[in-house]
Amino acid sequence: MASTGITPKESTAFRRGVVNGRPITPKEREDMLKPFLPDPPPPLPSPAKAQAETASLKPRVGPVRNFVHFVIYHIIAFVFSVFFRFRRAWRLVKSKVVALLKYHHRTPEFIQRDVKHLDRLPQHLSVILDLHENDEDQGSAGLEGLVNDVCEIAAWTASAGIPFLSVYEKTGKLKGYIPQTHRSVSQTFEAYFGARRKPTLSVRAPHVQSYSPPLTPPQSDSAESNDPTNERQHLTLLLLSATDGRDTMIDLTKTLADMAQHGTLKPKHIDANLIDVELRDAVSTEPDLLILFSPKVVLEGYPPWQLRLTEIFHLPDNKGVNYQVFLRALHKYAKVEMRLGR
């Protein structure tokens, strides 16, 4: 409170509406406010006077004051840019250290140990990934890098025991490679869990049939039929893109408008419930937790309707997919209480 530049007399006037022990009048309040207000706007700009006014306005701002502002702005910008860079470096070092301490070693047991003490896990986890066009970001460039990221995240998710993962990637390039993605993720599962314990997987995208090849289950079933205690986990992987956001909302509106024009629907029957049901069927349910691997929170067109109460996690200045972001997101999620406005 020290730094607001407001005297106690003013603040009691503001809070209680009292000055010197009696209620404040509108006139007094105006007088008290005067020093805080910006300059009065010029009287109604009549076209003839407009030029003269701007001329008379300029000197009032003052070139000296303007110059002082300019200098201070650049000092602030410089100081902060140094600060931001140092902070980024510091966070990078910190995350590297944590990454060394907490590594999953591609074994589900390690991941299970990391999440074991969490009170609750999201049932629907969502991540936003980027497709890096150029080769600047080594290791994660192009479609191959993207599929790698998806594989790793899917394996962590399955290890943590989360049944549903949706992956948002703006361009939707992955949607064209669903069988290939399925194969890659299955391979990663095998590397993590081993051939006998690996979770089953189905990959789908909105408006595309769920892809889960019937080839693998019978094979492994025959191998495990004598092991009834082993109930294998299942992971559903949903691929989302920018078209599942606004475009789907627009398509829905078009359909509704069409129906209204043919008299099969009255506009007054449209409510949040109807839209919710339609979008849930067409796209996805609300994710419980959304993890961003980007340095700042920008949603890049993620389906808006579904974001209502989603917990959004990002690690400031983090760049690229890594296990510690995933883990810290789960930790943060477990501590949060849902209040639903209450």
Partner 1 sequence: MEGSIHEGRVRKWLASSPPVAWTFRQLRELLIGALRQGPIPQHVAFVMDGNRRFARDHRIETVEGHNLGFEALARILEVCYKTGVKVVTIYAFSIENFKRSKHEVDALMAMAKLKLGQLSEHGALLDRYGASIRILGQRNLVKPDVLEAIDRAVALTAKNDKAILNVCFPYTSRDEITGAVKKTVDTYSQPIRNPPSSLKRPFSETHITQHIRNQMLGEGSDDVSEQSTSRSTSPSSSSKEEKSTHTSATSTAFSPSEKGESNPGAPNFLDPETITAETLTDNMLTSGAPPLDLLVRTSGVQRLSDFMLWQCHENTSIVFLDCLWPEFDLWNFLPVLVEWQWQRKKIQEQERGRTRSKSD
Residue 11 or 51 with smaller CB distance to partner 1: 11
**Which of the stretches 152-160, 187-195, 291-299, 319-327 binds partner 1 when contact is defined by CB under 8 A?**
291-299
Among 143, 311, 320, 334, the residue binding partner 1 under the rule CB under 8 A is 311
Site for partner 1 in 58-77 (CB under 8 A): 65, 68-70, 72-74, 76-77
Residue 14 beta carbon to partner 1: minimum distance, rounded to whole angstroms:
7
Other beta carbons within 10 angstroms of residue 276's beta carbon come to: 15
Indicate the residue type of 271.
D
CB of 190 or CB of 276, closer to partner 1: 276
Q: Which residues ranging from 76 to 115 are in contact with partner 1 (CB under 8 A)?
A: 76-77, 80-81, 84
- Measured at the alpha carbon of residue 156, what is the angle toward residues 316 and 241, in degrees to the nearest 5? 65
Among 156, 305, 323, 326, binds partner 1 (CB under 8 A): 305
DSSP letter, residue 154: H
Tell me the backbone φ, ψ of residue 271, rounded to 5 degrees.
-140, 175
Near partner 1 by CB under 8 A: residue from 113, 207, 246, 280? 246
Q: Which of 196, 207, 254, 280 contacts partner 1 by CB under 8 A?
A: 254
Which are the contacts of 293, defined by CB distance < 8 A and separation ≥ 6?
127, 128, 129, 130, 314, 318, 319, 320, 321, 322, 325
Tokens of 234: 């299942």
Nearer to partner 1, 157 or 243 (CB): 243
* CB 146, CB 310: distance < 8 Å: no
Contact status: 214 vs partner 1 (CB under 8 A): no
User: Which CB, 247 or 281, lies closer to partner 1?
Assistant: 247
Smallest distance from partner 1 to CB 238, Å:
18
Count other Cβ atoms within 10 Å, centred on residue 143: 15
Q: Beta strand pairing status for 18-19 and 22-23?
A: antiparallel
Using CA atoms, how far apart are residues 96 and 102, in angstroms rounded to an integer?
10
**Selected binder of partner 1 within 89, 97, 250, 277 (CB under 8 A):** 250
> Does 132 help bind partner 1 (rule: CB under 8 A)?
no
Check binding of 30 to partner 1 (CB under 8 A).
Answer: yes
Least Å distance between CB 267 and partner 1?
4
Residue 145 lies near partner 1 (rule: CB under 8 A): no
How near is the Cβ of 67 to partner 1 at its closest, in Å?
10
Q: How far is the CB of 209 from partner 1 (least distance, A)?
A: 26
> 20, 21, 22, 40: which one contacts partner 1 (CB under 8 A)?
40
- Told to check if 277 binds partner 1 by CB under 8 A, we report no
Q: Which of 13, 256, 321, 330 binds partner 1 (CB under 8 A)?
A: 256
**Burial environment of residue 43 by CB neighbours within 10 A (0 to 12, 13 to 18, 19 or more):** exposed
Closest to 302 (Cα-Cα) out of 128, 80, 186, 158: 128
Confirm or reject binding of residue 302 to partner 1 (CB under 8 A).
Answer: yes
Site size with partner 1, rule: CB under 8 A: 78
Q: Which long-range contacts (CB under 8 A, 24 or more apart) does 303-311 make?
A: 303/168, 303/240, 303/244, 303/245, 303/248, 303/279, 304/245, 304/246, 304/249, 305/249, 305/275, 305/276, 305/279, 306/279, 309/338, 309/340, 310/126, 310/286, 311/122, 311/336
Q: Least distance from C-beta 177 to partner 1, angstroms? A: 25
User: Rule CB under 8 A: which of 314-333 touch partner 1?
Assistant: 332
Asked whether position 4 contacts partner 1 by CB under 8 A, the answer is yes
38 exposure class (CB count in 10 Å sphere: 0-12, 13-18, 19+):
exposed
